[in-house]
Amino acid sequence: MVTETDEVAAALDAAAREWPSDSASRTKLLLRLISEGHHALHTEQERKRAEWHAIVDRTSGTFDYGPGYLEELRKDWPE
């Protein structure tokens, strides 16, 4: 159940202009908006993931912590 607030109505009206073949059914428009929103979120998440991987690849091996760094770091870690 979705309450058609002013914001929801505006989104549905915009969807009706975008997809006139579904404009007679607010339900179809809502389902299409949900589907398109999901697709947009998935696409954005994939873009961010690819960007993160590119940053990791680009910076991999560029930091030199010097000899003994890890041993020094780990000496206070619990066993």
Is residue 77 domain-resident?
Answer: no
Among 12-21, 51-60, 67-76, which is the least confidently predicted range? 67-76
Is residue 52 domain-resident?
Answer: yes
Contact 28, 22 (CB under 8 A): yes
Average pLDDT, integer, range 17-30: 97
- pTM of the entire structure? 0.69
Per-residue pLDDT tens over the stretch 25-66? 999 999 999 999 999 999 999 999 999 999 999 999 898 889
Is residue 71 domain-resident?
Answer: no
d(CA 35, CA 79) in angstroms, rounded, equals 49
Q: Phi-psi category of 2—alpha, beta or left, where left has phi over 0 and alpha has psi -120 to 50?
A: beta
Total domains present in the chain = 1
Is residue 29 domain-resident?
Answer: yes
Average pLDDT, integer, range 12-31: 97
Is residue 13 domain-resident?
Answer: yes
What is the sign, positive or negative, of the torsion defined by CA atoms of 32, 38, 39, 40?
A: positive
Give the range of the structural domain holding residue 35, as residue numbers without chain letter.
6-60
Name the DSSP class of 77. S
Is residue 65 domain-resident?
Answer: no
